[in-house]
Amino acid sequence: MGYAVVGYFDKASDKTIKSLWQGMADANVCDYLINSANNPHIKFAMFGEADVEAVKEVLMSLAQKTKKIDVHFKTYGFYPNEKPFICIDVAASVPILALQAQIQTACEKHGVSDARGYFEQGIWKPDCQLTRAFDKSKLASAKNYLAGTNLPFDGQLERIGLIEFHPSKQLFSYELS
């Protein structure tokens, strides 16, 4: 079982991103996210194992001290792995980077971190997945679909929480102050 500390967006951003998830499903690229029990989010940290109750206390405390954060969804990006995936890059603002650093520091003692290093300072970048990994033969369909959509747009990060995966399941979340 894996876990991720995530940030959730405002309702309008959530709706926009879910429509992109649906578009990816309709284009026969990836239907996992639209069919998941999750909402669009930024991953701030990932763990192979976690002390869920300890992380819950940490996130509740952080949420009480953290104001909602304006976000700018700026470009589409993809990770050109053997099985690529597509995301929306979020502008790496000072408040987003600071929140991620606080989450990493506060949660690292409560879980076994992702060993690949994607969430280390200077490496992590904020994004929101539009697909899970898919077959490279579907890249043209993904590109054609995304070419007909509109970016950039602005939104707000409103909650932080913990998910369990796969399959994705929201365990809890807390409203930012």
Render pLDDT for 53-94 as a digit per residue (tens, 0 to 9).
999 999 999 999 999 999 999 999 998 889 999 999 999 999
Render pLDDT for 130-157 as a digit per residue (tens, 0 to 9).
999 999 999 999 999 999 999 999 999 9
d(CA 93, CA 136): 31
Q: Which residues pair with 87 in a beta bridge?
A: 77, 129
Q: In order of start, what are the domains of the chain with their CATH numbers?
A: 2-164 (3.90.1140.10)
> Quick check: pTM over 0.85?
yes
